[in-house]
């Protein structure tokens, strides 16, 4: 395993298999009364979040705490960045205190990569602009394997605001690495430029037609319409987006029986996903959240504690 997790490019299919094995052990721990493992006792992890987050930050915090690490949360609001301190000064300052790992989210694509170049400790990218969100991709793929078994040859549809989605960029890399066939679907205005060349290179398909793709998918992953990253009008009205690209109640009938529905959250209910889909028996949205803790425990464990103690501690 590489030192940092900045992108899905940092892990091989074998690394992912190892991460999933440990995550499965961690998932069992999650169901116990007493959830603490001693694996990261004496280690300190900082969660440095320059962008809003509910699940990712708390998931990393819980993951670190259940591994007995000391976890400190810092956000841009309330930190010295709001006084004009540079990113480099901020990260050098917090790491000078003697921390062992840094989890960071930033609105600039490439920020985690840049920070990793300044530091000796492992850096985990918890989302950088519209670039990557590798732990989300890992937890999504892990959730899918729990529902479908091996992803080899399985057809996964990723639908929504692709242009602004780091979840899609990491997700497509992770799923194709695991042998899945991926089709990404968006309106033309939310299809990233250059995707034709990339999709050919990386071996995934693109489509503008949700109704044609849904019946062929073994699982469907809906993406949030990221209004906060949009400066202009990408679609005429919310209603038109829903009619064209939302997972509506009517479209549920197009899905294969039992096909899981994923969404990384936060969901815009009624826009990209209807309540009937979000709350369907086949909805895996809360499974994703629960898998998120297990997968992040696994990532923190492998990056901060090293591989030799995996089974020792997970078995305790
Ligand atoms: C995603 C993110 O922040 O990139 N959310 C998440 O991490 N659970 C997706 C989103 O914000 O739509």
The predicted pLDDT at position 52 comes to: 86
Q: What is the pLDDT of residues 220-238, one digit of tens each?
A: 999 999 988 887 788 888 9
The predicted pLDDT at position 71 comes to: 98
CATH number of 134-288: 3.40.50.1370
The predicted pLDDT at position 306 comes to: 63
* Protein residues whose CB sits closer than 6 Å to any atom of ligand 1: 55-56, 127, 133, 136, 166-167, 224, 226, 264-265
Mean predicted lDDT score pLDDT of the chain = 94
**Contact call for residues 171 and 234 (beta carbons, < 8 A):** no
**45 CA distance to ligand 1 middle (Å):** 21
**Contact call for residues 269 and 275 (beta carbons, < 8 A):** yes
Decide: residue 137, CB within 10 A, 0-12 exposed, 13-18 middle, 19+ buried.
buried
Neighbours of 119 (CB within 10 A): 17
Q: Which positions of the chain have pLDDT values less than 50?
A: 308-316
The predicted pLDDT at position 315 comes to: 41
Q: Can 8-132+289-314 and 134-288 be said to share one CATH topology?
A: yes
Residue 156 neighbours by CB under 8 Å, 6+ apart:
144, 175, 180, 181, 182, 183, 217, 218, 219, 220, 221
Which SS3 state, helix, strand or coil, does residue 231 take?
coil
Residue 177 labelled as part of a binding site: no
Residue ranges of domains in the chain: 8-132+289-314, 134-288
The predicted pLDDT at position 25 comes to: 96
The predicted pLDDT at position 314 comes to: 42
**160 CA distance to ligand 1 middle (Å):** 13
Q: Which atom of ligand 1 is nearest to the CA of 54?
A: 8
The CA-based dihedral angle spanning residues 12, 13, 15, 16, taken in that order and rounded to the nearest 10 degrees: 120
From the candidate CATH numbers 3.40.50.2300, 3.30.1360.120, 3.40.50.1370, 3.40.50.970, the one assigned to the domain spanning 8-132+289-314: 3.40.50.1370
């Amino acid at each position: 395993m590489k030192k940092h997790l900045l992108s899905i490019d940092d892990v091989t299919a074998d690394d992912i298999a190892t991460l999933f094995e440990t995550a499965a052990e961690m998932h069992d721990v999650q169901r116990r009364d007493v959830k603490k493992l001693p694996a990261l006792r004496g280690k300190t992890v900082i969660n440095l979040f320059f962008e809003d987050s509910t699940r990712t930050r708390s998931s990393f915090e819980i993951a670190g705490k259940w591994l007995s690490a000391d976890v400190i949360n810092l956000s841009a609001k309330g930190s010295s960045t709001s006084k004009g301190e540079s990113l480099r000064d901020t990260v050098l300052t917090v790491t000078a205190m003697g921390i062992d790992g840094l989890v960071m989210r930033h609105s600039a694509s490439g920020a985690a990569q840049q920070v990793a170049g300044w530091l000796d400790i492992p850096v985990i990218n918890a989302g950088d602009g519209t670039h990557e969100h590798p732990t989300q991709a890992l937890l999504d793929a892990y959730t899918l394997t729990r529902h479908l078994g091996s992803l080899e040859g399985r057809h996964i549809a990723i639908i929504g605001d692709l242009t602004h989605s780091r979840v899609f960029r990491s997700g497509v890399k992770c799923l194709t690495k695991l042998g899945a066939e991926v089709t990404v679907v968006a309106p033309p205005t939310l299809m990233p430029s250059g995707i034709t060349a990339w999709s050919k290179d990386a071996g995934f398909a693109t489509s503008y037609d949700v109704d044609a793709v849904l019946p062929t998918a073994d699982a469907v992953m809906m993406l949030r319409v990221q209004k906060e990253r949009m400066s202009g009008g990408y679609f005429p009205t919310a209603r038109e987006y829903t009619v064209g690209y939302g997972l509506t109640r009517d479209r549920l009938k197009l899905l294969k029986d039992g096909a899981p529905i994923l969404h990384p959250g936060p969901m815009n209910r009624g826009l990209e996903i209807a309540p009937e889909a979000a709350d369907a028996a086949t909805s895996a949205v809360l499974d994703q959240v629960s898998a998120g803790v297990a997968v992040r425990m696994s990532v923190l464990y492998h990056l901060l504690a090293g591989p030799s103690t995996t089974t020792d501690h997970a078995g305790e």
